[in-house]
């Protein structure tokens, strides 16, 4: 839609320029036909270099918007982004586009659904009950088990395995909150990319990026019942064990191991070859090459000493009471 149309729909002052907006995009990825936003001052350094055609900003940042971008000023830029996102959300069952292209040697079972503009490589197996949304790409020799759901625009690499009930590309949990307590959906407009030789366990959910992409890198193995939030980057060759939860925008380095029921808060980084013991709660970025445990997270040896100390204190207290 045109920028002027969007401003009227959002109740914003129209800028002097007007052009056709193509999509919403992050500050560091946006182009001249894109709308971006800045809400968190942590990312203010990206504003001055953005190439976005228009940027939603708070009044305090209006003067920092580059000369080539239109500043759309609001006291609540994140809320306005959420309101704008519904205009750019794709039709989940479009009738436009081409029939699926299926590569040589591939088998698609009766009862599987393929959307428009789907491209499937060679020797792929798609089992009954699988749903493959519009514009999905699936690489050679990938195996899709029954009842896997792959939402629109996602990309699956070569020699991947997706086990039954896995959901790839579901909406991330994103809402803007009004001052009177309403929750306004921020439509998730990104996608999920699984690189080559990724395995996803049964009933695992991987959320699509908000405006960009969630990426599971080459060789990573994800167990059953895992939740990976929007905009995460996992791997390469990471191991993510059952019931792990990764909050949005978490970044795991190479060969990271997350033990069962461990979890992260959002917007943090875990370095290469780090191990998180079962039920570890990660609330800060961690360096690579170490083993961590507990909540709040600490190095594993320190956690063992702490628990041994607590055990001795309890035993001592019991003796005193006797």
Instruction: Say which residue the tokens 């001795």 belong to.
Output: 312
Cα angle: 40, vertex 279, 167; to 5 degrees = 65
Please write the tens of the pLDDT for every residue from 188-214.
Answer: 999 999 999 999 999 999 999 999 999
Distance CA 15, CA 19 (A): 10
Single out the residue of 157, 176, 154 nearest to residue 167, CA to CA.
154
Question: Is residue 94 predicted with pLDDT exceeding 90?
Answer: no
What predicted TM-score, i.e. pTM, was given to this entire model? 0.94
Q: In what order do the strands lie in the sheet with 239-240?
A: 107-108, 125-126, 143-144, 161-162, 199-200, 221-222, 239-240, 257-258, 275-276, 291-293, 298-299
The predicted pLDDT at position 177 comes to: 96
Asked if residues 266 and 249 have their Cβ atoms less than 8 Å apart, the reply is: yes
Please write the tens of the pLDDT for every residue from 59-89.
Answer: 999 999 999 999 999 999 999 999 999 999 9
* Residues ≥6 apart with Cβ < 8 Å to 16: 70
Please write the tens of the pLDDT for every residue from 279-318.
Answer: 999 999 999 999 999 999 999 999 999 999 998 998 887 7
CATH number of 101-300: 2.160.10.10
Residue from 177, 230, 267, 300 carrying the catalytic annotation: 230
Please write the tens of the pLDDT for every residue from 139-190.
Answer: 999 999 999 999 999 999 999 999 999 999 999 999 999 999 999 999 999 9
Question: Is residue 320 predicted with pLDDT exceeding 90?
Answer: no
Please write the tens of the pLDDT for every residue from 19-46.
Answer: 999 999 999 999 999 999 999 898 899 9
Q: For CATH 3.40.1390.10, list the domain ranges present in the chain.
A: 3-85
Asked if residues 122 and 103 have their Cβ atoms less than 8 Å apart, the reply is: yes
Single out the residue of 111, 110, 132 nearest to residue 121, CA to CA.
132
230 is catalytic: yes
Q: For CATH 2.160.10.10, list the domain ranges present in the chain.
A: 101-300
Question: Is residue 245 predicted with pLDDT exceeding 90?
Answer: yes
CATH number of 3-85: 3.40.1390.10
Asked if residues 75 and 2 have their Cβ atoms less than 8 Å apart, the reply is: no
């Amino acid at each position: 839609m045109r920028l002027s149309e969007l401003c009227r729909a959002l109740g914003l002052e129209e800028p002097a320029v007007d052009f056709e907006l193509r999509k919403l995009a992050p500050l560091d990825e946006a182009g001249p036909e894109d709308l971006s936003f800045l809400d968190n001052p942590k990312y203010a350094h990206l504003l001055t270099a953005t190439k976005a055609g228009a940027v939603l900003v708070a009044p305090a940042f209006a003067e920092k918007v580059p000369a080539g971008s239109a500043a759309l000023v609001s006291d609540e830029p994140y809320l306005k982004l959420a309101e704008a996102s519904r205009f750019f959300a794709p039709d989940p069952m479009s009738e436009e586009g081409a029939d699926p292209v299926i590569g040589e040697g591939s088998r698609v079972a009766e009862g599987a659904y393929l959307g428009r503009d789907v491209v499937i490589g060679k020797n792929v197996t798609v089992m009954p009950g699988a749903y493959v949304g519009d514009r999905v790409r699936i690489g050679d020799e990938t195996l899709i088990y029954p009842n896997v759901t792959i939402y629109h625009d996602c990309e699956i690499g070569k020699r991947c395995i997706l086990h039954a009930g896995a959901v790839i590309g579901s909406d991330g949990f994103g809402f803007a909150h009004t001052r009177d307590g309403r929750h306004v959906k921020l439509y998730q407009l990104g996608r999920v990319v699984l690189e080559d030789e990724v395995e996803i366990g049964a009933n695992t959910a991987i959320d699509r990026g908000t405006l960009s992409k969630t990426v599971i890198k080459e060789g990573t193995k994800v167990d059953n019942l895992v939740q990976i939030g929007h905009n995460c980057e996992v791997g390469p060759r990471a191991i993510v064990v059952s019931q792990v939860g990764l909050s949005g925008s978490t970044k795991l380095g190479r060969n990271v191991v997350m033990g069962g029921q461990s979890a992260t808060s959002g917007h943090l980084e875990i370095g290469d070859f780090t191990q998180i013991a079962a039920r570890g709660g990660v609330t800060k970025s961690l360096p690579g090459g170490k083993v961590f445990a507990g909540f709040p997270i600490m190095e594993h040896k320190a956690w063992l000493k702490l628990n041994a100390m607590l055990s001795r204190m309890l035993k001592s207290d019991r003796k005193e009471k006797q």
